[in-house]
A and B are shown apart, each in its own frame.
Chain A
Amino acid sequence: MAAVKLVSRRCMIGSIRKGLANAIQNNTANILHHFEWKNTNAVLTTKSQIYRCLSTISAERPVVRTTIDEEELRKFVLLSQQWWDEQGEFEALHALNRLRIPFVRDGLLNQRGIPPLDITQPLAGFSVLDVGSGGGLLAEPLARLGAHVVGIDAVGENIKIAHIHLQQDTMIAGKVKYIEATAEDMVVTEEEKFDAVVVSEVAEHVTDLSHFIESCCRLVKPGGSIFITTLNKTQAAYFLGVLMAERVLHLVPAGTHDWNKFIPPVDLQYLLDKNGFVTRLVHGMFYNFLGKKWSWIQNTSINYAVHAVKIDSTKSQTSERKFKNDSIST
């Protein structure tokens, strides 16, 4: 089994980093299941055990509740509060939801071309994979819109943190599933299973981008979509994304980003193209540090978003459909 490829999501907090180190050591064969909280390194062996854990996910009262180590639980509750503090460490990621959720929503709806039956659940019927789901910042809103979301993260602690927060909202608890896994792991069983794969603020952290994108692409159904948001490899991105954000304004912890891993949009499009995708949209995003708000811009030299659609060989005309995205008005 390949070693963990997916490295820490941006803005990782100290203790999560430690967890990450562990996760890398243990390698992916030791997939920790988030329901066996007491023993973090537990390996689920019997099938029945696995099934029990999985089936308790949305039961009224999770069986595992009783086996949680109180102190550990408190730690994760605290971490979960940090992740979900809109004005805390992850402020920029929270703010990004104002762009990326409509981007995914409108991208999927336009691609399908049929207006939703129930406006309150526009994404009903869509299955979405959130790669690098962190605290669940993206998974929860998508589930609220009706999608079934699987969030994967290589960091076991993130899975627990996200799960704790998810349980607070009974309306969506049954629609989200968090799994400690990498995109590469998922390919083994979930190839072409998802209507959409969302890779938001993750690609710039992986070591083997080409292999990572290939895995993500393989998970998408023919005719399905991939949504990527990431940082461009330009001087401006270095200046704002690394120097300003990490050293001057301390928006994210120092060392979060490695400029060498930033990705020019053309490179990303080339990779998508190679994996049988047609790019629908590439758009720049700008973060106003003072107003703490993101906005769409034409210029893609710092942050940008890409929507690409997997060519469906059975239906060739999809690639010619005129594309319109409501969420973007510059």
Chain B
Amino acid sequence: MAASIVRKCSTCFSIGRQLISLYPMSRRLQTSSSNNEYLADIVISGGGMVGAAMACALGHEELLKHKRVILLEAAPKREFKLPETFSNRTCTLSLATIKLLNSFGAWEEIQKMRCHPVHRMQVWDSCSNSLITFNQEEMTQELAFVAENDVILEGITRRLDAVKDNVEVWYKTKGKQYIIPGGDSSEDNSWITIHLDNGKKIKTKLLIGADGFKSTVRDASKLHFVTWDYKQTAVVATLCVSETENTVAWQRFLPTGPIAMLPLSRSVSNLIWTTTPENAKYLLQVEEERFVDAVNDAFWHDRDMNSVAVNVGNFLTNISNNLMQGDTSTRQLPPTVTGIQAGSRASFPLGLTHSSNYVRSRVALIGDAAHRCHPLAGQGVNLGFGDVTCLRDVLTKAVYDGSDLGSLSYLVDYETQRQRKVLPVIGTIDFLQRLYNTNFTPIVLLRSVGLQATNTLTFLKERIIKEATA
């Protein structure tokens, strides 16, 4: 009796074999399922720069080519045409980010549109003369590139078209409700169910939350997070500058917050000025001429100079110059701002949000959904792209090991690796922003010594450059 059943087993096995030929068909079956229910392997909620890059990276991965990826974006699809004027929203892209964008061809697309190299960064303090500069030996090597957010997103979107067989982008579609097993829901299926605002429903093995710092995926996953408001506002604008090369990124620490100028072209730079909400309000209202004066003043004035710190700083510079011959990190003067692109002023509130966990079973958070930091070091989006690289690699490994894509075991690897990178960066940025948000003498003294020392310790700077570009 038992034997006869087992004998049949070879029969059923041959049925199993025939089924491989049905494999592509079973995919189609999933797509055209009835009553508005769709099946996916991975759903990414949020098609900002980070979410779009995630979809693109997964779509171009050989090992994931049979996986169905759906990207949900609340905004409609835009028909992009490169405008003549520059946008006021830009990002400094680190070399690591460029490597990621290169891996799916988006960097080439961005270069075809426009972006600008940064050869040197100069950071200095308004309360003392202390300064730190970053550049690789010859000024010919790029440290980073500055590109407009719109251009970056367009570059990625173009490369999404190349993988539209397995990556679908659903524009004007919002995740309304996420049912995540293990929560209050009593759904017996262990996959995640997403109810969309258009009445459709998706079941997926893995949900990636890339829906920005007010992430609803994070809320639905009941992931704990910390958040605080810096009570600071960032004022952005597109500036015209008198420069010949314009390949230096400038950042000066004022007691009210850092002011930064990022090169966009030979004669145009982007301004990110962190200041008090009151001052921001004033800056947005004043006539453009007065605004330009205010910017120049912020980069040049020496009203905040603290005599003790200046003296100590000069003393230290002398010593270190005597000790270390040939230190070429001389102070350069920032370019004069000559005008502002009409109507390019805008402001954003600043805050810090950090999710204590980036993952749970079948869920992963990336980009601002996991961590939002102060724009002080221009790290925000680079950290997000770092998440993309890491999560892509972890998921590829999971697939090569035959694991379910939502397996916590692999997702935890992503969380561990990323938190090891992100926490020190966020911590440092938060510390810096507190450190510089004062003109209290002992602290000014401390930081002038800090910057000065860091500037002369070449090996330390090289480490920082390496970290930022690795």
Contact = CB atoms under 8 A, between A and B. Distances in A.
A114 interface: no
B16 A190 contact: no
A1 B4 contact: no
Nearest to B401: A101
Contacts of B400: 122
A171 B131 CA distance: 59
A59 B210 CA distance: 37
Nearest to A99: B401
Given A86-B409, A94-B409, A177-B16, A170 B8 contact: no
B3 interface: yes
Nearest to A122: B400
Contact of A119 (B5, B6, B30, B63): B63
Contacts of B319: none
A22 interface: no
A190 B19 contact: no
Contacts of A98: 401, 409
Interface stretch (B186-194, B263-271, B277-285): B186-194
B402 A101 contact: yes
Contact of B6 (A55, A87, A186): A186
A29 B2 contact: yes
Interface string B1-24: 111111111111101110110110
B331 interface: no
Q: How large is the interface on A (under 10, 10 to 19, 20 to 34, 35 or more residues)?
A: 35 or more
Contacts of A102: 401
Interface string A131-172: 000000000111111001010000000000000000011110
A190 B10 contact: yes
B29 A60 contact: yes
B19 A142 contact: no
Interface in A92-121: 94-95, 97-98, 101-102, 105, 119-120
Interface stretch (A43-51, A197-205, A229-237, A257-265): A43-51
A181 interface: yes
Interface in A25-77: 28-29, 31, 33, 43-44, 47, 50-51, 54-55, 57-58, 60, 74, 77
B402 A144 contact: yes
B347 interface: no
A181 B13 contact: no
A316 B274 CA distance: 75
A143 to B, nearest CB: 8
A20 to B, nearest CB: 17
A29 B65 contact: no
A193 interface: yes
Contacts of B404: 140-141, 169
B66 interface: yes
B402 A55 contact: no
A174 B4 contact: no
Contacts of A192: none
Given A101-B402, A120-B65, A84 B190 contact: yes
Contacts of B403: 97, 101, 141, 144
A138 to B, nearest CB: 9
Contact of A177 (B12, B65, B189): B12
A190 B9 CA distance: 9
A189 B30 contact: no
A43 B188 contact: no
Interface residues of B, number: 43
Given A58-B19, A127-B13, A177-B12, A171 B26 contact: yes
A57 B15 contact: yes
A102 B397 CA distance: 10
A168 B190 contact: yes
Contacts of B191: 168
Given A120-B65, A171-B26, A150 B8 contact: no
Given A54-B8, A55-B15, A168 B2 contact: no
B9 A179 contact: yes
Contacts of A50: 4-5, 8
A269 interface: no
B1 A43 contact: yes
A181 B402 contact: no
Nearest to A142: B402
A45 to B, nearest CB: 9
Interface in A10-33: 28-29, 31, 33
Nearest to B12: A54
Nearest to B7: A189
A81 B190 contact: yes
A310 interface: no
A188 interface: yes
Kindly name the residue among A33, A94, A189 whose own CB sees the greatest number of chain B CB atoms within 10 A: A189
Contacts of A179: 5-6, 9
A87 B408 contact: yes
B10 A174 contact: no
A174 B2 contact: no
B62 interface: yes
B16 A105 contact: no
A185 B2 contact: yes
B261 to A, nearest CB: 46
B21 to A, nearest CB: 11
Interface in A245-296: none
Contacts of B17: 148
A188 B17 CA distance: 22
Contact of B402 (A29, A47, A74, A141): A141
B251 interface: no
B361 interface: yes
Given A141-B402, A150-B9, A58 B3 contact: no
A175 interface: yes
A105 B402 contact: yes
Contacts of B5: 31, 33, 44, 50, 179
Contacts of B469: none
A47 B403 CA distance: 37
B63 A95 contact: no
Contacts of B15: 54-55, 57-58, 174
Give the top 10 A-B pairs by smallest Cβ distance, nearest first: A141-B402, A174-B19, A54-B12, A144-B402, A145-B402, A189-B7, A188-B3, A189-B6, A31-B2, A86-B408
14 contacts: A31-B1, A54-B12, A55-B12, A81-B188, A120-B399, A141-B403, A144-B402, A148-B17, A150-B13, A171-B26, A177-B12, A188-B2, A190-B6, A190-B10
Interface of A: 1, 28-29, 31, 33, 43-44, 47, 50-51, 54-55, 57-58, 60, 74, 77, 81, 84, 86-87, 94-95, 97-98, 101-102, 105, 119-120, 122, 124, 127, 140-145, 148, 150, 168-171, 174-175, 177, 179, 181, 185-186, 188-190, 193
Given A142-B402, A177-B13, 13 more contacts: A43-B1, A58-B19, A87-B361, A120-B63, A124-B20, A140-B402, A170-B29, A171-B26, A174-B22, A175-B20, A177-B12, A188-B7, A189-B6
